[in-house]
Amino acid sequence: AQTVTQSQPEMSVQEAETVTLSCTYDTSESDYYLFWYKQPPSRQMILVIRQEAYKQQNATENRFSVNFQKAAKSFSLKISDSQLGDAAMYFCAYLVEEGGSEKLVFGKGTKLTVNP
């Protein structure tokens, strides 16, 4: 079964600095999709960035980028120029597709604090 591991329960960063959140996953598939979702306090979860495993190029969305290492099954999120609004829980997720169904498998999350 596919699993997702986030080894950092909490991280902190100074405003305007860069932080990297770690994620590893386990799968026997060769083609799959990975996601980072952000869940601000008392607000709904929103997609930050998505990576297709068959693409060699790392995904980038403005200040957010990933370091996707397929052989190592690693999918880290880098946030550049951190802003106070980046403070949230961040969840790494793997899309499981089987038997006509689909679902996201999430890690336990990393709580990011941004210090002014």
Task: Please count the residues of the chain.
Answer: 116
Among 59, 107, 112, 114, binds other proteins (CB under 8 A): 107
Contact 86, 95 (CB under 8 A): no
Distance in angstroms (rounded) separating the CA atoms of residues 102 and 104 = 7
Q: Interface with other proteins includes 64 (CB under 8 A)?
A: no
Cα 12 to the center of its chain, rounded Å: 16
Q: Which is nearer to other proteins, 54 or 69 (CB)?
A: 54
Distance in angstroms (rounded) separating the CA atoms of residues 95 and 80 = 26
Alpha helices in the chain (DSSP H): none
Segment contacting other proteins by CB under 8 A, of 21-29, 64-72, 73-81, 89-97: 89-97
Q: Interface with other proteins includes 91 (CB under 8 A)?
A: yes
Q: How far is the CB of 14 from other proteins (least distance, A)?
A: 25
Residues that bind other proteins (CB under 8 A): 4, 33, 37, 43-47, 50, 52, 91, 93, 95, 97, 99-109
